[in-house]
A and B are shown apart, each in its own frame.
Chain A
Amino acid sequence: MSLQVALFLLFGIGAIATAIGTITRRNPVAAAVNLIAHFFMLAGLYLTLEAQFLAVLQILVYAGAIMVLVVFVIMLLNLGDEERLREQFTVRKVLGVVIAAILLLQLGVLFNARPTGAQTLLPRAAALGTAESVGQALFTQYLFPFEAISLLLLTALVGAVILAKRKVE
């Protein structure tokens, strides 16, 4: 088994294990820790894809910023473990898993139906994953969406402040 396959298996199995951990932990903090590990596994997968810039951003933005916000809110709400689900909920749970299995099947069929493209990573993939090449595309071809995103972030900022602030008399 070559190094690249070993790395893929390590990060892939790790990603699935931490994802399952995230949705099965009763304690929200334990779920959040699992999710942080999941984001690190995804960053590793990006590295096996030779997308270095996105791997770094994944850790900075998700593990660094978003998860800090989530953990902060969990601390703020002072939540305990989720109590056991009532009986009616097990039916819903089984239904949910069945529907998700159907969805997985459909996604698998869909991915198999795509036109066969390259089955190996391109030789220039590593050059494609640098901050230089991503930035080049972002600030020329995708300049308008980039500016629109800044507007969206401003709106989200104002909305979050309005939603979360206490009522002022």
Chain B
Amino acid sequence: MNLQSIPLDWYLLLAAALFTIGVVGVVTRRNAIIIFMAIEMMLNSVNLVFVSLAQFMGDIAGQVFVLFVMAIAAGEAAIGLAIVLALFRNKRTVYVDEVNVLKW
């Protein structure tokens, strides 16, 4: 099956829309875990740009970099969730607006 009829711009615009939804999630939500999930979503939209450009330009580097982004996302997931756990243990909350000790 040869999938040839979808232009590259559609993928790029879809990735831009997904990234923007992720940004909205980060700036409007208060729950640290949901903010974390929105960040994962933004990383994934960038992955989509990498893969589509790799496939349309015929360069394997894009796909290799998606692998690296996935590895970084896994590390970020472990560290981020550990921070949320530590935060909950100390403050009894995961709402970022209630964590304001460093706020001037």
Count of interface residues, chain B, beta-carbon cutoff 8 Å: 74
Chain A 53-71: CB-based contact to B (< 8 A → 1; otherwise 0): 1100110011001100110
Closest to A102 in B: B20
In-complex Cβ contact of A107 among B19, B74, B83 (8 A): B19
Complex Cα gap A128–B22 (Å)? 29
Closest to A35 in B: B37
In-complex Cβ contact of A153 among B3, B74, B94, B97 (8 A): B74
Contact A92 B3 (CB under 8 A): no
Q: Which residues of A contact B51 (CB under 8 A)?
A: 46, 49, 51, 54
Complex Cα gap A58–B63 (Å)? 12
In-complex Cβ contact of A123 among B2, B21, B44 (8 A): B2
Interface residues of B (CB under 8 A from A): 1-14, 16-25, 27-31, 33-34, 36-38, 40-41, 44, 47-48, 51-52, 54-58, 60-61, 63-64, 66-68, 70-79, 81-86, 88-89, 94-95, 97
A sample of 18 more A-B contacts (CB under 8 A), given A35-B40, A134-B67, is A23-B28, A23-B29, A38-B41, A50-B55, A51-B54, A51-B55, A62-B44, A62-B73, A76-B85, A77-B33, A104-B16, A117-B56, A119-B56, A124-B58, A134-B60, A152-B71, A160-B79, A163-B82
